[in-house]
Every structure is written in structure tokens, then in C-alpha cells.
Amino acid sequence: MASNDTHTTTRPSVAIHPAGTTASGTEPAGAPVMQLRDVSVYYGSYEAVRGTTMPIQQNQVTAMIGPSGCGKSTVLRALNRMNDPIPGARVSGEVSFHGQDLYARDVDPIQVRRHIGMVFQKPNPFPKSIFDNVAYGLRINGIKGRLDDHVEEALTQAALWDEVKDKLRKSALALSGGQQQRLCIARTIAVKPEVILMDEPCSALDPIATAKIEDLMVELTNDYTIVIVTHNMQQAARVSHHTAFFTAEVDEQQVRHGRLVEFSQTGKLFTNPADKRTEDYITGRFG
Amino acid sequence: MTVTNKSPAARPVLTRRGGSAVGDRVFSWWTLGTGLLVLAILGLILITTVREAWPAFDAMGLRFLTERIWDPNPATGDAIFGALSFAYGTAVSSLIALLFAVPVSVGIALFLTELAPRRLRGPAVTVIDLLAAVPSVVFGLWGILVVAPALVPVYQWMHDILGGIPLLGRLFGPVGSGRNFMTAGLILAIMVTPIITSITREVFSTVPRADKDAALALGATRWEMIKGAVLPHSFGGVVGAVMLGLGRAMGETIAVALVIGGATNITANMFAPGNSMAAVIVQQFGESTGTFTAALIGLGVVLFAMTVLINVLARSVVRRAEARMKGSLA
């Protein structure tokens, strides 16, 4: 029995907040800022992920774990419409952000991504200077004039400022992998999104760089809501408040679909999972 | 002594050379040979053409480059061979060609890589590549029979409107037959567009998905994504494509010979007839002898030198622009 909705049922309903109320303190931590209801993602006629329902809590880290091919990255990309440019990709069900359906007809995907940013698996700074990487997002968001303060603020928040302040005009490609990934985070937070999606942000990094990014994630929950996809269960256990476990299932027609098996508080999911499949996965008997 | 007396099985395995080493050596000699062959051919061309052109260089000295008069059969005195007018014609017609061809080619390439629906891409690419397969003499005949006469009223209209502007108006001077720098430039533009398009398209398609995703995830529109991710990544490759197009335009012979007008002329007026180095060579080589022939080969040497010079310049421009745009790696 999948317990997708055990968590949602413990909360009265999805709290809907007017856009723009962000800072911690004005709202109780843990109110859902996003809500997925029966979300399926298709590539052409292939249903990659079937019927996902889960909340994303404000100012918390929500982790998505599961074996390869379980659709966790696909669901993540559905949260800020990054699947749109893929030919044939389609989403059914509802992904709401402050109560507004992201896939409604009149919603501009550009605006969606300005509120819900994304950090990718492989550090992908632009082939530009460190400064211009951070300034890029500011410029396309119409912030003109002196960007120095904004750039410094973003780099400081991303715990990178001290390492790069003397070489802002140097190429971002000359940085180490861990620095590049923090630069990508700085670039994302420079445009002040509410939610940051991270798709296996540490999988290309060494343990020390990984630890830095994990510290940073915890730090960032003061101002941002984070959703992270990770292959690393320890990482999910270390940084997240809630964890969603996905797996791949083969249906009657022998077609594989990603499915959400269990969503609950991270401590509970790892110590007392409700579903047998979750238990098998976290104890290493599967995947 | 104790070491060498060990059993045969202890023979060092790592130093033995198998059949693979022979293949490696053949491969490296073959590639080195072909690489050197290119240099040898280039050097040979340069040496032999300079030798053939020497009588003209000897007679004219540096004036061969600075003299604008080209008179192989003067009524009195010695023949005068000055390459300047033709070098000017080559430069101007190629420049006009790039002015029109580059924005169009980059636009087509961006459309094909970023915007066009998948099923439209194949046919569109085929059509553009077909354009490259049209023989240049066909372009020349089309230019002389159709394009030049058709453009005369357009040129006239532009002269009437823009000709009065101080300084800038001199570009749009009195119109003659329609066979002029502008027509040559336009025909060249059509001829180089397929080359520039097909290379820039390849360059754009090498931009990593990750770079584009990064821009989109920051809320970039399609154009902002192209500006921020695609173009910086492609700058060097696009310049390379433009240089190949420029090389083709500067070296194009028969099409230019037919439409440029055939006058020894340096003027700001784009609607005046002129001539280019390659066109002069093909027009006059058959009737030339002695120093005259040497002078025509001399034009070839100048054209060769100009092409090399421009390529070297372009490389340094790319290096500097990339350092500025991408930040220095050091």
C-alpha cells in the first residue's frame, strides 16, 4: 500500500499564500509553498512518471530519492517547467505554486522559472567571467546599473565570495568543480527565486565540496525553499526535512513507470518506513 | 647475476612490443606526413608564384602595391602594373558580401538549431546546401542577365534618396549599368551564405544542453538564452565560418568577373564599376605575355597574402574577444 498521502492528510489542507510573502517568521515554517496533485509526466505516449501527489514545504529541504530511472529528476523538472523544451513532453495533474497551477493556459513558463530556479547535476557555469555569470540572471531580470552589490551579495550567500573576490573578471571555467557548483547556486539565488530545485547537485563533486554544498543548503533554507534530487541516501538524511521515495514499477503491459512510493518526514522515512519497498531500498536490499 | 638467471617466465612483460606498436608507428608517420604535405604544397605555391611574378615585381618595385593604374599597353612609355585598384575591388565586394551574408546566415542557423520544428530542419538544410552546389558561372550569368538590370531602378532610387546626405551619400553615387561593386557583393553574398550557414549551424548545435538549461532555469526568454548561452559559446566558431566565407568571396573569379563591371577604379561609390584581382586574372591571362603575365601572377600573390593576413588577424581577434567575453583562464 503506497502511503503517498499520509503526510498531506495530517495537515488540514494546502495553505495558499499570496505570492511575495517569503521571509521566514511571517509564516510558520513548513507550510506548503508548492503542491503536486496526481502529477504524471509523459514523453510522447510514454508515461514516465505516474500519479505523484506530495507537498513542498516552505523554507525546508525536500529530498527525492530512489533508484535510477524512477522518475525523480523528471518530477523535479516538472516543478519549474524545464521539461517544456523537450519535444513531446507533457504533464497532467496539477502542480501548484501558492495555489496557482503552473501549467494553466495563461501562465508564462519564463515567469515560473524566475520564481522557481534550478541547479543542475553537472556544474554548468556559462563560458563567461565569474562576475558575468552572476550578473546574467540579474540583467535578464531587468536589474540595471551597478550590479556589484547584488553580485557580492549572491556570492556571499553562496559562501563563495571570499574565494573569488579578487578574480571576478576571470573565467568561471577556471574554478574547481565545487566552486563552479557554488557559482551556479549564486547565479540562481541572485535573481531571488522562492524555490530552488537541485538535481543531484553534488554527484560530480568530491566529499569536501559536497559537505560545503550541504552546509550551504541548510543555510539557504532561511530564505529559500529547496527541493533536491539525490542518489545519496546519507545526503538526504543529513539535509532534508521531508523525503519522497520513488521507484520504477512495471505495469500489466510490461511498461516501466516511475512512482512515488512514500512521502514523509525524513527521520521517519529512514527509521520507520511505512512501505516494504522503501525499507528494502534504504537498507540496501534493492537499488 | 642472480637476477638474469631467473626462469624465462620472469622476463619483463611491460617492455615487450606487440603488433599494436607497428600500427601506432605507421599511423603517426602517416599523419605527420600528410600534415607536412600541406605545408610543403603551400610553400611550393608561394615560392613558384613569387618566382613567376618576379619580372613584374622587379619592374614596378613597391609601386606594384601602391599604384592604382593598370596599363599593360600604354601608347607611350613602359607598361604600368598597379594592383591597388583591384585589391580595393576585392576588398569592397567581399566586405559587401559579408555585410549581407553574415546576419542572414547566422539567422538561418539559429532558426534551424533553436526554432524550426524538427520535421522542417532536414528539408531546409538540403535546400541551403543545394545553393552551394550551383556552379559559380551560373551565378555570374544570372547576375549579368537578371540581377544587374533588375537592380538598376533600385540603385537609382537609393541614389535619389540617400545620395544627398553629406559624406555617407558618396557611397550611393550615380548609377551606371548595374554591373558594379554592389551587384558583385550581392552575388557573392548569395554564394557564401550556404557555407557560413552550414558551419555556424554545426557550431550552434555543439552548445551543450546544460548551458541552455542554465539560462532557461534563470528565467531567460529564448532570445536571452541565445545571447547568454549560445552565442558566447559559439563566437570563435562563427568567426571561423565567416573567415571561410570571406576566403571564398575573395577568391571567387568568374561570377565576379561577369558582374563587377571591369573598370580600373577606386571610388567610394558602390554603384560604380570596378574590378577584383581574381576577375582581372581570368579576364586578361589569355592575351598576356612576358611582364604582363608576370604582373597577373603577381596579383595572385597579393591575393594569397591578403587572405593569409586576414586569417591571422581574425585569429587574434577571436583570442582577444574570447578572453574579454569568457574571462581569462589564467
Cell 581574381, residue? B278
- Interface contact flag, A130 B217, Cβ < 8 Å: no
pLDDT at residue A287 above 60? no
Interchain pair B220, A184: CB under 8 A? no
- pLDDT category at B15 given cuts 50, 70, 90 is low
Judged against a pLDDT cut of 70, whether residue A7 lies above it is answered with no
Q: What is the 3-state secondary structure (H, E, C) of chain A?
A: CCECCHHHHHCCCCCCCCCCCCCECCECCCCEEEEEEEEEEEECCEEEEEEEEEEEECCCEEEEECCCCCCHHHHHHHCCCCCCCCCCEEEEEEEEECCEECCCCCCCHHHHHHHEEEECCCCCCCCCEHHHHHHHHHHHCCCCCCCHHHHHHHHHHCCCHHHHCCCCCEEHHHCCHHHHHHHHHHHHHHCCCCEEEEECCCCCCCHHHHHHHHHHHHHHCCCCEEEEECCCHHHHHHHCCEEEEEEEEECCCCCEEEEEEEEEEHHHHHHCCCCHHHHHHHCCCCC
Q: Pick from A126, A137, A141: which is nearest to B232 by CB? A: A126
Residue A146, Cβ density class (10 Å: 0-12 exposed, 13-18 middle, ≥19 buried): exposed
For B256-307, write each residue's pLDDT tens digit. 999 999 899 899 999 999 999 999 999 999 989 899 999 999 999 999 999 9
For A59-86, give one letter per residue: b (16+ CB within 10 A) or e: bbbbbbbbeeebbbbbbbbbbbbbbbee
Average pLDDT over residues B219-232: 89
pLDDT at position B21: 77
Dist CA B315 CA B311 (whole Å): 6
From A111's Cα to the closest Cα of chain B, the distance in A is 6
| Shortest Cα distance, chain B CAs vs residue A66, angstroms | 23
The dihedral through the CA atoms of B115, B116, B122, B123 has a sign that is: negative
For cell 547556486, name the residue.
A185
Whole-angstrom Cα Rg for chain A: 19
The yes-or-no verdict on residue A20 having pLDDT over 80 is: no
Q: Which residues of A touch B208 (CB under 8 A)?
A: 124
Distance from CA of A38 to the nearest CA of B (A): 24
Distance from CA of A179 to the nearest CA of B (A): 15
Which chain B residue is nearest to residue A117, measuring alpha carbons?
B217
pLDDT at B20: 67
d(CA A39, CA A92): 6
Burial state string for B104-137 with b = 16 or more CB within 10 A and e = fewer than 16:
ebbebbbebbbebeeeeeeeebeebeeeeeeebe
Q: Please give the model's pTM, rounded to 2 decimal places.
A: 0.79
- Quick check: A171 and B326 CB within 8 A? yes
Contact in structure between A164 and A155 (CB atoms under 8 Å): yes
Chain mean pLDDT for chain B: 89
Query: Which architecture characterizes domain B82-276 according to CATH?
Result: Orthogonal Bundle (1.10)
B5 band by pLDDT with thresholds 50, 70 and 90: low
Separation between Cα atoms, residue A201 and residue A214, nearest integer Å: 10
Nearest CB to B211; choose among A110, A114, A124: A124
Give chain B positions within 8 Å (CB) of A191. 218-219
Domain boundaries along the sequence of chain B: 82-276
Cβ contact B329–A171 (<8 Å)? yes
CB B231 within 8 A of CB B256: no
Cα-based distances in Å from B262 to B144, B265, B276: 12, 9, 8
**Roughly how many angstroms between the first and final C-alpha of chain A, as a whole number?**
20
For residue B121, the chain A residues in CB contact (below 8 A) are none
Closest-CA residue of A relative to B115 is A85
Nearest alpha-carbon partner for B202 in B125, B130, B315? B125
| Domain residue limits, chain A | 6-11+32-282
Inter-chain contact A113–B118, Cβ cutoff 8 Å?
A: no
Which of these CATH numbers, 3.40.50.1240, 3.10.180.10, 3.40.50.300, 2.70.98.20, describes A6-11+32-282? 3.40.50.300
Which pLDDT does position B117 carry in this prediction? 85
Tens digits of residue pLDDT in A159-201: 899 999 999 999 899 999 999 999 999 999 999 999 999 999 9
Which of A128, A130, A141 has the most B C-beta neighbours within 10 Å, making it the best mutation to test the interface with B? Answer: A128
Q: What is the pLDDT of residues A237-264, one digit of tens each?
A: 999 999 999 998 888 888 888 999 999 9
Of the residues A82, A84, A107, A110, the best mutation for testing chain B's interface (the one with the most B CB atoms within 10 Å of its CB) is A110
Q: Which residues of A make CB contacts under 8 Å with B?
A: 80, 82, 85, 87, 110-111, 113-114, 117-120, 122, 124-130, 132, 136-137, 140-141, 169-174, 184, 187-188, 191
ipTM of the complex: 0.80
Residues of chain B in contact with residue A171, where contact means CB-CB under 8 angstroms, are 326-329
Q: Which residue among A137, A169, A170 places its CB closest to the CB of B218?
A: A137
List beta partners, residue A91: A41
Within 13 Å of residue A180, how many CA atoms lie on the same side as its CB? 22
- Classify strands A195-199 and A225-229 as parallel, antiparallel or unpaired: parallel
Tens-place pLDDT, residues B17-75: 666 678 888 999 999 999 999 999 999 999 999 999 999 999 999 999 999 999 998 88
Partner residue opposite A113 with nearest CB, options B216, B228, B232:
B216
